Structure 1
């Protein structure tokens, strides 16, 4: 029995190690991007990001800027990894039973709805009202990275809870992107993309483990989604959900693929995304701390996230009589909820979709960076205080 439990925990332990270390790499790349955007190399940095790159020829040629290739192309692999993570959690992890998923799912919903509501109230009637999805996100890498540094002795159950919450949060963000941040949808192209995904699902149901077939169908789905007006990264998530699993996680193609892709996603794709998107000129961005945009993002992430997560946890545990995650103290649970306010990767991704205007987007990115730093520092401080209270 112990051997079986150990084997079931191994994928999570590896995932936690990847994400925690990735958070530090991500932070370094975000700082580097800011330095480049505010250095003598700023023009060269901007020119590189807007450099047009194309593949194919004639009617089949696709040309986009380097930034778009990163956000629409490379990030599809990141979302594919998210799809694998979601499926793994529902099959083998914290979300595999209704009882187990109740707390992280409710906490994630509270942590998405309260920030979105706060942002919407603050930006009611403002041109920036469409950015309500920005503070709904949690950056799992940053959150786990700070957790590993500030609370290395945190109960495993609390770590698993925060991870499961962030994965459900990612699922919610994906749904929001698909439903509310897509425009001028071509039903014909969307139908072609869904047919490719259904083809991958049929292969999975037949027990096929030939990766080139899944890759070809995934590429076809990506191209169709790009043409449809639905963000092409959604194709990556859907493809990840079709990858076949097995009764034992170690023997499944799902687990094998996640082990191969997760390090690339954590240490290459996300850092490149940070380098391409976190570089904001402090001189050129008109950041007004009193603006609805800034207040909505900061209040949503720093106040709304912990309020929604912690409030949902307390409500569910009181109604069900269940203990707090990992039998943690209320203050440690609040600290974990506060780390949920680190938006960064997914928040910036949604901001790119919400604000085509470069000035507004730059202000949104600075707001996200400010809010994420505040949430991280506050969460670390709360964990330290919780540790002192527990020791006294």
Structure 2
């Protein structure tokens, strides 16, 4: 948990720094550097390179975590996985429904995926800092829930936020993916093989209309987790161990610096009262705990699952609020839902306001319950 605590604090610091710069005399320079095209032959700005290329490493770590949890972790057993999986599903559907109620029939209706997300590093960091005496089973539950939530977010991004599809490019990516899976089945452990395959899939997705960061997820899924013939730890676990600190302490802070720069003026804050602002805020702060708590309560009431030792329903309502810290994934989805739109700044403001509210209230309540 120490890593999650430090990563969460660093994310907060970078978000505050981005807002401070954006609201200072250096704000126009900050915006210019992010939006100016880089001379790389693709007409992509620095912001696009961060969100489309650098974040592929973050999504690789997410994919590796999901695969590891299903193979060896809390999601391996069907009975143990049922509670966090149902809670994650409830914690995605209810926020999306709340957002849709506020934005029904409006051009902003497509942002329903924004409040579905949970920032695993931020939420675990808040839990460890605010409630160091929280039961270990609660930490395990939140971790498993956030991983399933990430998997749901990946599906939403790939299916609902894709652009116009280019069949030949995607077919090429499919061939590369199948070759990587074949290499995984043969337990080939060469890192360069999967790195090269991941880059080719990134290019295929970039030109094929699917967000290219999904190449990181597929690369994580395709890597072998079993030990190699030399007895060394599986390539997936070695890559995850090597890249998790890079993702937590370099890539996610860079993403926060590039994406959390919101203007704290009257027009920016008034956006919180608009349909997308209210939908995002209510979805994260109200929808997350409601969806998670209801899902757990229904399963337990139907005797399909039992509460972990030492936990009561109060713990799940409270940790559901902590799960309302959307931040990284919510900001990412907002950029896909509202690209080059004035609504994007409203969405960012609502995400940051909701995440801070969920962090403060959720951390306080979990702390009181755990004493």
Short-chain TM bin:
over 0.9
Q: Distance in 2 between matches of 1:137 and 1:326?
A: 27
Q: Distance in 1 between matches of 2:304 and 2:211?
A: 41
Contact in 2 for aligned 1:30/1:278 (Cα 8 Å): yes
State the partner residue of 2:273.
Answer: 290
State the partner residue of 1:204.
Answer: 184
1:103 aligned to 2:83?
A: yes
In structure 2, relative to structure 1, the CA distance for the partners of 1:112 and 1:250 (3 Å cut) is farther
For structure 2, list consecutive stretches of 5 or more residues without a partner in the other structure. Answer: none
State the partner residue of 1:265.
Answer: 247
C-alpha deviations, 1:208-250, integer Å up to 9, x for none?
Answer: 1111111111100000100011000111101100110127998
3-state DSSP of counterpart to 2:270: coil
In structure 2, relative to structure 1, the CA distance for the partners of 1:308 and 1:281 (3 Å cut) is same
1:20 aligned to 2:5?
A: yes
State the partner residue of 2:31.
Answer: 46
State the partner residue of 2:370.
Answer: 387
The Cα shift of 1:334 comes to 1.4
State the partner residue of 1:310.
Answer: 293
Q: Distance in 2 between matches of 1:293 and 1:326?
A: 39
Match among 125, 130, 148 for residue 145 of structure 1: 125
State the partner residue of 2:318.
Answer: 335
In structure 2, relative to structure 1, the CA distance for the partners of 1:110 and 1:250 (3 Å cut) is farther
Q: Distance in 2 between matches of 1:213 and 1:247?
A: 17
**TM-score of the two chains, using structure 1 as the length reference:** 0.91
C-alpha deviations, 1:61-103, integer Å up to 9, x for none?
Answer: 4341000000000000100010100001001100001111101
Q: Distance in 1 between matches of 2:178 and 2:352?
A: 38
* 1:157-176 pair list within 5 angstroms: 157-176=137-156
Match among 42, 53, 58 for residue 73 of structure 1: 53
3-state DSSP of counterpart to 1:264: helix
1:274 aligned to 2:256?
A: yes
Match among 251, 256, 259 for residue 238 of structure 2: 256
Contact in 1 for aligned 2:118/2:323 (Cα 8 Å): yes
State the partner residue of 1:10.
Answer: none
Contact in 1 for aligned 2:37/2:46 (Cα 8 Å): yes
Contact in 1 for aligned 2:60/2:217 (Cα 8 Å): yes
**TM-score of the two chains, using structure 2 as the length reference:** 0.96
Q: Which moved more, 1:336-345 or 1:357-366?
A: 357-366
3-state DSSP of counterpart to 2:38: strand
In structure 2, relative to structure 1, the CA distance for the partners of 1:185 and 1:84 (3 Å cut) is same
C-alpha deviations, 1:24-54, integer Å up to 9, x for none?
Answer: 1001000000000000111111111113224
* 1:211-230 pair list within 5 angstroms: 211-230=191-210
Contact in 1 for aligned 2:123/2:323 (Cα 8 Å): yes
1:246 aligned to 2:226?
A: yes
3-state DSSP of counterpart to 2:271: coil
Q: Distance in 2 between matches of 1:252 and 1:288?
A: 48
State the partner residue of 1:350.
Answer: 333
Task: Give the number of equivalent residue pairs.
Answer: 368
Match among 182, 187, 192 for residue 172 of structure 2: 192
Contact in 1 for aligned 2:189/2:234 (Cα 8 Å): no
Contact in 1 for aligned 2:59/2:216 (Cα 8 Å): yes
